[in-house]
Amino acid sequence: MNRIQRVSSWLKEAGHTAAFIHTKENVFYLTGFYTEPHERLMGLFIFQEEEPFFVCPGMEAGQARSAGWNHEIIGYADHENPWELIEKALKKRNVSIHTLAVEKDSISLSRAEQLKHSVGGAQFVSAEETLNQFRLIKDDNEIRLLKEAAKLADYGVEVGTAALREGISEVEVLAQIEYELKKKGIQGMSFSTMVLFGEKSGQPHGNPGPATLKKGDFVLFDLGVILDGYCSDITRTFAYKTINPKQEEIYETVLQAEKAAIEASKPGVRIGDLDLTARGIIEKAGYGDYFPHRLGHGLGISVHEYPSMSQANDTLLQEGMVYTIEPGIYVPEIGGVRIEDDVHVTKDGAIALTQYPKELIILP
């Protein structure tokens, strides 16, 4: 059963007439076509029995076909109204839509109103939970792509450390990392790259800027790439030239917490317990108040996807899940340490896809 058939089967079981899928991530998952439509409408209609169809800007219709979509494509010119074309396609199929599964969390109000008009006022139901479940377990090809993306994330850290010298700025190092990764053929970075020096490493979502590197700084890299539609995400923290006892204690605490959470990652384990495992180690060391975020997040076509690796999540781990584990400690006036790996759950336990060394390194 392919992915489109799986959605059709779900529609039958749930009693929904059709689904309208419009986010670029889920369109890619279901069609193999990866694009950024910007303000233009892109959407995929899937039915219980009728032939699905894909509507997109006409200038991208050929790319969608080349990506492997072998059903109807409705390409529209910028002067055309795509909603009118959708109405014609629905009439041609002689389908009366009573309930329509939609990605309700990501559709704008204006677009939802246009969609409801085009489908004759059908009741909307959520498609997110089901699509999240479909994407949760990665197949062999997805794991292969995630491994390749992880290797390039490792390479990005390697480039970053090689670029360091006293007085260099965060943005200079960032530019070098992204330049070298682009030369490797990536589609892009999976999020805004972070290169943070000194006290700025203590900002979990800090913004790189003109700050320059000096002896005794923590250096934090958080980066990832998109390769063939799949994302990676790695964080490594280093000490530059020297480290004081407090910094070393923080580093070793985070490292112990990260390793323990990976070791605990096995099928059947509650996700929330992974967070509690790492958090317990950090709290025991006296830094609980300085770990302000969840343990990690799902990873795949989106760099942040289902599931959330928080202590409140009762979902049980399954073979084939991929997610990040990224505990951190962030202390004002000292800086922060975060260590992050992309983790694949197998029947025997967890495998880290990111492989860059994470034992404490004091860069010369």
Q: What percent of the chain has pLDDT over 90?
A: 98
pLDDT bracket for residue 313 (50, 70, 90): very high
| Residues 104-108, mean pLDDT to the nearest whole number | 95
Q: Is the predicted pLDDT of residue 94 greater than 90, yes or no?
A: yes
Give the tens place of pLDDT for each residue, 332-359. 999 999 999 999 999 999 999 999 999 9
CATH label of the domain that carries residue 13: 3.40.350.10
Q: Is the predicted pLDDT of residue 7 greater than 80, yes or no?
A: yes
Q: Is the predicted pLDDT of residue 1 greater than 80, yes or no?
A: no
State in Å, rounded, how far the first CA of the chain is from the last one.
Answer: 54
Q: Is the predicted pLDDT of residue 142 greater than 90, yes or no?
A: yes
| Residues 312-321, mean pLDDT to the nearest whole number | 98
Q: Domain range for residue 31?
A: 3-135
Residues 97 and 111 in one domain: yes
- Taking the C-alpha atoms of residue 343 and residue 54, their distance in angstroms, rounded to an integer, is 34
Q: Which tokens sit at 263?
A: 């070791």
What pLDDT shows up at residue 129? Answer: 96
Residues 252 and 290 in one domain: yes
Pairing outcome for strands 194-197 and 72-76:
unpaired
Q: Is the predicted pLDDT of residue 312 greater than 80, yes or no?
A: yes
Q: Is the predicted pLDDT of residue 21 greater than 90, yes or no?
A: yes
DSSP structure class, residue 55: E
Q: Is the predicted pLDDT of residue 64 greater than 80, yes or no?
A: yes
**Final residue in a domain of this structure, among 135, 153, 173:** 135
pLDDT bracket for residue 37 (50, 70, 90): confident
pLDDT, averaged across the chain = 97
Residues 289 and 187 in one domain: yes
What pLDDT shows up at residue 38? Answer: 87
Residues 212 and 279 in one domain: yes
Report residue 39 CA to chain centroid gap: 22
**Final residue in a domain of this structure, among 135, 162, 181:** 135
